[in-house]
Every structure is written in C-alpha cells, then in structure tokens.
C-alpha cells in the first residue's frame, strides 16, 4: 500500500512538473511574441521621429527647393508652376459669376452672387453631373459639347425673378484638375490625362480654348476668364475673406500648396510684369523631397509598390491617400513577426484595405475597451478577437504615423513662410531671428485630413508653435476654407473679368 501511495505521489509530482513546464514555456513564448510586437513598435517610433531640430531642417530644405524651382524649369523636385494669377479677389467684387469644376468623372457647375461687400457666407448654387463613360475616351469636341450643354441648361434655369438674361455676357472660372502647362491666366496645355480619361486629341492642346469653342457652338456668351488649380482656388477664397491670406494648403486625399510670390523673385519668368507685382505660384509640393524627411522601411515599400515610384514622396508621407496603408503595413509586420494577431488574413495583405478615415476612427476611439478599434480590425482587416493590449498598440501605431504626417505638414507651411519672410527670420536659412516686425499672416487650408481629423490638426498646430516659437506663431493664422475648387474659381473669374 505504501509503495502505491509513493508511486501515485511521484506520478502526480511528475505531472505537476510537466504542467508547470508547459505553463512556464507558454508564458515565455507569449512574452517572446509580445517583445517582438513591442520591438516593431519601437522601430516605427524611432523611424518616424520628428524632433523640432529635424523639422527646422525640413523647413530650410523646403525654402531652398522653392528658390531652385523658381530659378529654372527642372531645377528642383518642386515644379513651382506659374499660374499667371496676380489679382486675387478682395471682397470688392460685384456681380454674378460662374465656375466649372472638372476634377474627375463628375463635374460641377456653380453660380456665385457677389454683393460688393464681404460676407462670411457666399450666396451660390451648385449642380453636379456625371460624365457618360463613353465620353472619357471619345473626342475633345464630344466631351466639351456635353459640358457646354449642361452649363447652358444650368444658366437657363435662372429665369423666375432673376435679373440675368441669356444675352448677357458671363465670366467663368474653370477648375481643371489634370496636369497642365499654364501659359496665361486663362490658357493651358494638357500634359497628360489621369483618372480614367484618355482623349488622345486633347494632349498638347489648350484646354480652355476647347471649352471656349464648345460654349460658342452652344450659343452661350460665356468667357473662360481663368484656368484654375484647386489649390489656387482655395487661396482666392481665403483672400476674398481675409486680405492677409498669403498661401493655401490642401491636405486631404492628396496634398498641395500655393502662395503669393514677388514677380521679381521668379527668375524663370524674368520680364513678365503684373499690375500687382505678385503672382500666385503653384508649388506641387507633394513631390518635395529631402534627406531630412524621417523615412521608414514601410514608406520605402509603399513607394516601390506604387504606380509612381520615386515620385510624390512628401505626399506619400502626409496625405490621406497613404496614412492608412502605412498603418496597415506596420500591423502586417507585427502579425508576421508574432502570431498574437492570429492568422494573417488576406485583407491584411491587401494594399489600401485600411483607408485613412478608418485609421482616424481607431486613433480617436476613446471608449475604455477600444471597441471601435476591435470592430475595424475585425470587419475591415479580418482580425477577430484582438486582446485589449494589442488594440492599444494599434492605436499607438496610428498616433505615430499621424503625428509624423501633421508635423511634416507644419514644417512645409513654415518653409513657405520662410521663403517669403513671414517666419520671423527675415527669409534667411540660418534660423537666426531678426528684429523685423512680424505681420499678421493667414494660410487658407482645405481638406478633410485637417478639417475633420482633430488629432492631426492638433499635432500640426503644436509643431507650428514649436518651430516658430510662440511669439511668432501667434501671428500665423490657419483658416479653414470650403470649396476653393468651385467658389474660388468663380471668384477668380470675377477678379480677372476685365483684365
């Protein structure tokens, strides 16, 4: 009997040791997996580091590239395109003006009523229309005849109590969001089509002239007064409401900036005179690049796998098109390094599955159990049952990627201010402050990433204060505008209607 008891006791002890070994081994493996997740997070944090010293280097690099782009064509990654817009609206305009916004497979027509007095809300009407699929690959005549006919129908609806008549000449601002080589305020040559269009006979042709001919064929006495880039329209709208507006930035799905430059500083257009002495320059800043930008392996992979590698490098680090996918790539790496996220789903492997609005929703989830994070991981990336501590890691990844983007956007804005001497340094690149009195400086901003993403906006403002210092930053005002591509185009038609 005693031997049996001893044997049972020894057996139980052996089983207990085995169970303990399994438990300890499981814990050690779990700790190992967690350490690998944390290591990936730390690497991302270090790679995205954007100290104020680094941001000031980006500011200087932006200002230098702006100088180079103004000196000669192809002298910089920044195209610094001439817009020939030199007369921005200031609130004294009066009358009714039109805008046509062709930015994709839909277009909008707008009518804006100006009452010779500044108003926080402009009176305007908008109509949106889809372009039939067959016209995307047809001829320039077919496309613009369709657009002109739609504009005519829109104008004919004025009737009923309107003082306007069909025989009165009208002025129109034309927003055309495709690559164009602008040759005057109202003319520009199409470089290439994007966004599904392929109308061969239009490449190398003056786009506003095609529209103007269609308007004449339709019997409309409408003059194309301005060919407008959406960023320039945003600047016009900002300047209409506040004459201290000197630049505009779009930070949405894509990103771009433009600003008001002295004509005598634009070396590549020497001899061109304007009544104001200034011209709006379209920077195309999405293509900015500098070795000072904090680039990670995720950025490199995203770029190499994109349709336009080695192009739009700045845009790929700060715009809404890409931020969600950078986060997806980090989560994928964590999943491959550790199985704590479970099986790697096909959705997690698919580029651009995680859109930036979803990423922002996870980042701004303030519920105690991060239930929105869990829902998006489950429904969008097909990662179910993610533990709370891993959900917190995902939120941290969103924070790191968003903070870097916002701070780099802030550095880009300060780069513009430095170029025009509005950063408190007198326009020099050494960073030394001068005693020049700082003028009130307004930057118009449009785009959902800034206007709808609270944490992005807060990080951008925080970086502006750090780079400029509070004494200078208090003179720089960022103002949200809405519909620069529509209302802004009509305002530019007004400001250039008799020029």
Q: How confident is the model at residue 428 (pLDDT cuts 50, 70, 90)?
A: very low
Q: 19: pLDDT confidence band, cut at 50, 70 and 90?
A: very low
More confident residue, 495 or 105: 495
Lowest mean per-residue pLDDT among 60-69, 119-128, 393-402:
119-128
The percent of residues above 90 in pLDDT, for the chain, comes to 73
Q: What is the pLDDT of residue 17?
A: 43
Q: Which stretch of 116-130, 151-165, 229-243 has the lowest confidence by average pLDDT?
A: 151-165
Annotate 221-253 with b (16+ C-beta within 10 A) or e (fewer): ebbbbbbbbbbbbbbbbbbbbbeebbbbbbbbe
Q: How high is the pLDDT of residue 25?
A: 44
Is residue 331 scored above 90 in pLDDT?
yes
Query: Which tens digits make up the pLDDT trace of 364-373?
Result: 999 999 999 9
pLDDT at 189: 94
Beta strands per DSSP E along 301-426: none
Whole-structure pTM value: 0.88
Residues constituting the chain: 499
Q: Name the CA dihedral angle for 347, 447, 63, 438, rounded to a multiple of 10 degrees.
A: -140
Q: Are strands 170-176 and 180-184 parallel, antiparallel or unpaired?
A: unpaired
- Residue 169: the pLDDT is 78
Average pLDDT, the chain: 88
pLDDT digits (tens, 9 = 90+) for 167-224: 567 999 999 988 888 999 999 999 888 888 889 999 999 999 999 999 999 999 999 9
Q: Where are the domains of the chain?
A: 83-240+484-496
Q: How far apart are the first and last CA of the chain?
A: 114
Return the residue matching tokens 């492997």: 349
Of 494, 490, 484, residue with least CA distance to 230: 484
d(CA 57, CA 253): 26
Give the per-residue pLDDT at 22: 39
Contacts of 292 (CB under 8 A, 6+ apart): 54, 57, 58, 61
Helix (H) / strand (E) element for 226: namely strand 222-228
Alpha carbon distance 407, 424 (integer Å) = 19
pLDDT for the residue 23: 40
- Interval 51-104: pLDDT, tens: 999 999 999 999 999 999 999 998 999 999 999 999 999 988 888 999 999 987
Question: At residue 248, what are phi and psi to the nearest 5 degrees?
Answer: -140, 150
| Cβ atoms of residues 279 and 263 within 8 Å | yes
Average pLDDT over residues 474-487: 94
> 117-148 as b/e, with b when 16 or more CB fall inside 10 Å?
eeeeebebeeeeeebeeebeebebeebbbbbb
Mean pLDDT computed over 456-478: 97
- The residue ranges of DSSP E strands in 389-456, in sequence order, are 441-446
Report the distance separating Cα 482 and Cα 406, nearest Å.
20
- Mean pLDDT lowest for which of 87-96, 287-296, 407-416, 469-478? 87-96
The predicted structure's pLDDT at residue 436: 57
- CB of 446 within 8 A of CB of 234? yes
Class of residue 438 by CB neighbours under 10 A (exposed 0-12, middle 13-18, buried 19+): middle
> What dotted CATH number matches 83-240+484-496?
3.30.420.40
Q: What is the average pLDDT across 108-133?
A: 81
pLDDT computed for residue 35 by the predictor = 93
Confidence band, pLDDT 50/70/90 cuts, at residue 164: very low
- Could you tell me the pLDDT band of residue 497, with boundaries at 50, 70 and 90? confident
Whole-number Å distance between alpha carbons of 159 and 335: 63
Give tens-digit pLDDT for 226-279.
Answer: 999 999 999 999 999 999 999 999 999 999 999 999 999 999 987 776 777 899
Average pLDDT over residues 309-329: 95
């Amino acid at each position: 009997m005693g031997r049996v008891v001893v044997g049972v006791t020894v057996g139980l002890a052996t089983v207990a040791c085995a169970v303990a070994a399994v438990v300890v081994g499981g814990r050690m493996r779990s700790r190992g997996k967690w350490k690998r997740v944390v290591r990936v997070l730390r690497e991302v944090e270090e790679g995205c580091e954007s100290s104020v010293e680094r941001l000031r280097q980006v500011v200087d690099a932006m200002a230098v590239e702006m100088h180079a782009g103004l000196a000669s064509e192809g002298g910089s990654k920044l195209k610094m395109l001439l817009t020939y817009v030199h007369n921005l609206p200031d609130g004294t305009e009066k009358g009714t003006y039109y805008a046509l916004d062709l930015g994709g497979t839909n277009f909008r027509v707008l009518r804006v009523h100006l009452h010779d007095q500044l108003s926080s809300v402009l009176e305007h009407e908008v109509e949106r229309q889809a372009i039939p699929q067959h016209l995307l690959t047809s001829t320039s005549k077919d496309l613009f005849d369709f657009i002109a006919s739609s504009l005519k129908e829109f104008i004919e609806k004025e009737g009923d109590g309107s003082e306007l008549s069909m025989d009165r000449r009208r002025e129109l601002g034309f927003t055309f969001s495709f690559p164009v080589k602008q040759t005057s305020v109202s003319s520009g040559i199409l470089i290439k089509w994007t966004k599904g269009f392929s109308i061969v006979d239009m490449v190398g042709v003056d786009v506003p002239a095609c529209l103007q001919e269609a308007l004449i064929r339709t019997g409309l006495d409408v003059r194309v007064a301005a060919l407008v880039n959406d960023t320039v329209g945003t600047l016009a709208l900002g300047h209409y409401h506040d004459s201290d507006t000197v630049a505009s930035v779009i930070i949405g799905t894509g990103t771009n900036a433009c600003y008001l430059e002295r004509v005598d500083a634009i070396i590549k257009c020497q001899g061109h005179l304007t009544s104001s002495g200034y011209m709006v320059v379209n920077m195309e800043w999405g293509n900015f690049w500098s070795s000072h930008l904090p680039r990670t392996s995720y950025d490199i992979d995203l770029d190499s796998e994109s349709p336009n590698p080695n192009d739009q490098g700045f845009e790929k680090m700060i715009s809404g098109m890409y931020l969600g996918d950078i986060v997806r790539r980090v989560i994928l790496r964590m999943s491959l390094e550790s199985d704590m996220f479970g099986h790697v789903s096909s959705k997690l492997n698919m580029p651009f599955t995680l859109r930036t609005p979803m990423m922002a929703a996870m980042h701004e989830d303030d519920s105690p159990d991060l239930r929105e994070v869990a829902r998006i991981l489950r429904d969008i990336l097909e990662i179910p049952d993610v533990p709370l501590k891993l959900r917190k890691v995902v939120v941290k990844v969103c924070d790191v990627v968003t903070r870097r983007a916002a701070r780099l956007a802030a550095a880009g804005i300060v780069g513009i201010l430095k170029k025009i001497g509005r950063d408190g340094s007198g326009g020099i690149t050494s960073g030394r402050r001068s005693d020049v009195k700082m003028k009130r400086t307004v930057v118009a901003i449009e785009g959902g990433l800034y206007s709808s993403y609270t944490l992005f906006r807060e990080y951008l403002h925080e970086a502006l204060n750090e780079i400029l210092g509070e004494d200078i930053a208090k003179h720089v005002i960022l103002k949200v505008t809405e519909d620069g591509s529509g209302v802004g185009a009509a305002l530019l038609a007004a400001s250039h209607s008799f020029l």
